[in-house]
Amino acid sequence: MKYLVLILSFMKLFSFLSCNNTNQSNETLTDTITAVAGNFSDYPEYNKTDLGFVYQKEQTVLKLWSPAAEAVRLKIYKTSLGDDLIETFNCIKDGKGVWKIELNGDYKNKYYTFQAQFDGKWNSENADPYAKAVGTNGKRGMIIDLAETNPDGWESDQSPEFKQPTDAIIYELHVRDLSTHTSSGIQNKGKFLAFTEEGTKNPAGLSTGVDHIAELGVTHVHLLPSFDYRSVDESKPGNNQFNWGYDPQNYNVPEGSYATDAEDGKVRIREFKQMVQALHKKGLRVVMDVVYNHTGMTHDSNFDQLVPGYYYRQWKDDKYSDASACGNELASERAMVRKFIIESVKYWSKEYHVDGFRFDLMAIHDIETMNQLAAELKKQDPSILIYGEGWTAGDSPLPVEKRALKEHVYQLKDVAVFSDDIRDGIKGNVFEEKSTGFVNGSKDMAETIRIGIVASGEHPQVNYAKGYYAKKAYAKNPESVINYVSCHDNNTLYDKLKISRPKASEADLIKMDKLANTIVLTSQGIPFLHAGVEFKRTKNGEHNSYNLPDSINQINWNWKTENIDLFSYYSDLIKLRKSHPAFRMSANEQIQQHLEFIDVKDKQIVAYLLKDNANNDSWKQILVLFNGSEKTKKVKLPAGNWIPELMNYEFIKDRKTVASKFIKLLPISATILYQE
């Protein structure tokens, strides 16, 4: 319980800091709600999919859903920020809470805002929530012909082949981090177009950028928020501003600071598509980190200015709830909010060919919304990945039993959750910097490691009562669990190891690093890697770098030169996983049948057998041994002739059968043997 309280406190603090919010008080918001909102359950649901604009050369039709508005007007501008109003139009009611305006003639490339009136007062002008293009800083929508944003060959763009979720190896990356360092050899620094550059090298001639990612061997590139967010001023492109982007402004538009021109709304769209196209050509799928749980502004957001109160949850006293610790939370269970979220992800999947979505603080969303969303996405693309954080940063009016929590993943279909069990079991609590896990000194984490190895599902040899967080199995299949040891949040893996073990030698820190992700990449479930972990990425000990400069966040490609052996180890480890289906089982029943733990009577050793392997695996039996202690240990081998694949982090090329009945495990090491 003490860990739970501590974690919730730290999560709330972290989430508040990283949201970078400037919200008005709940009291001010409450006045707005009670004055104009009425009973949300009385609001009509609009079932069509034509909100926003529908452009044709002869006529553009714009629609806004705002059932409580007394009047709505549309303003047309020449530019995205200038005082250059062209025309103002009064919208007309069109039923189901929708306001409509038909613009005769060609309005392509004009900017627009909606403005709604309540209680005789006009709220501020805003881009509508369904805007598909915006100008600088997302203040105004832009009417465009989407077909003009398609790069050459876009119609023939194909996602790389992908058979089942457990085949995925996810690589989490911020758009700017890839390219901003001088060693990247990339011209379009900090831009979507950086992902289109091939043949880039660091000063030592080693591959960087997308060539490096492809060389590493992962399958999916997970991009931190790349929709339009508010904390970076796009009108000052030379300032090299940085933010993770967890403060959404316009959900259906790419971020302008990552484009070569933020003013022209078509440019950011085209360049995002070029990025996706380039990654697909490299054999890499694209996952978007999406933040539908809250917005970067509350009262001043386009949601609240155009439909006061409706899109956000409130407590019984009408105060806005704050499970995101960012000032608000979206009410996903309300019909038009659910509709918006589902239509938004479908739009990114169809228009931008995005292959997956990671949901920030997913437990703020209700289970029904997530299931409907997954079902709709799977209709468009059966191979799409959907996963998220199965927790909140604070309490919510949404009943606990309806939340998309980690422990409710068995109620979710085709939606996976992150395993904080294996994360903290491997290296220690992320909120206690000096705490340790299995690889860096703890003697109490072996059972939590076993929980991670079986992807948090039922297994007769796993004692969940001894787990770090989960006290019972919660995953119905390994496809439901994302295994990881580090991500953009908290310390990088290398920094965490160094802080928790300040007296450890560099050689031992590297062993801990290797052991950590050897566990992740050989466990059942879906492995997830933080970009740069393959060459000891550091943020100089900063655990919350959401708005710190590039100098802290960027990938220094000289690290690859300095740690080329570590990179090669990660690459070989990924090849190992991809070569053997035994590491990628798709059902709990398979794991129960084929994965057997070996009791070695040692709290710092985890040993298991992948036995009687089928599914075209060339290895009939696989023996995996992890030694988390700083002492050499000896383990008796199961019967049969065993051939070493990995010994003390060396992949064996001259493979010979082990002569002894015992295997020696060096300190902080991983060993893998097999029978053909």
Identify whether the C-beta of residue 91 lies closer than 8 Å to the C-beta of residue 64. Answer: yes
**Residue 397 Cα distances to 291, 293, 331, 476, 515, angstroms:** 19, 14, 10, 27, 41
Closest among 531, 559, 536 to 203, alpha carbons compared: 559
Contact 620, 612 (CB under 8 A): yes
The full DSSP string for 379-393 is: HH-TT-EEEE----S
Angle at 546 between CA 543 and CA 550, to 5 degrees: 95
Cα gap 184→408, rounded to integer Å: 42
For residues 512 and 501, what is the distance between their CA atoms, to the nearest angstrom? 10
From the candidates 389, 407, 424, 447, which is the catalytic residue? 389
Quickly list DSSP for 106-163: --TT-EEEEEEEETTEE---B--TT-S-B-GGG-SEE---GGGGPPTTGGG--PPP--
**Which residues is 605 bridged to in the sheet?**
627
CA distance linking residue 316 with residue 313, whole number of Å: 10
Q: What is the dihedral of CA 455, 461, 463, 466, to 10 degrees?
A: -80
Residue whose pair of structure tokens reads 């980690």 in the numeric block: 406
Residue 390 CB partners (closer than 8 Å, separation 6+): 362, 363, 404, 405, 406, 407, 408, 409, 417, 418
Whether 360 is a known active-site residue: answer: yes
The catalytic residue among 197, 360, 550, 617 is 360
Q: Which residues contact 604 (CB under 8 A, 6 or more apart)?
A: 438, 443, 446, 627, 628, 629, 633
Task: Please state, in angstroms and rounded to a whole number, the distance separating the CA atoms of residues 661 and 673.
Answer: 13
| CB neighbours of residue 576 within 10 Å | 18
Helix ranges restricted to H, 253-393: 265-281, 302-306, 335-352, 367-380
Beta bridge partners of 672: 624, 646
User: Which positions are catalytic?
Assistant: 360, 389
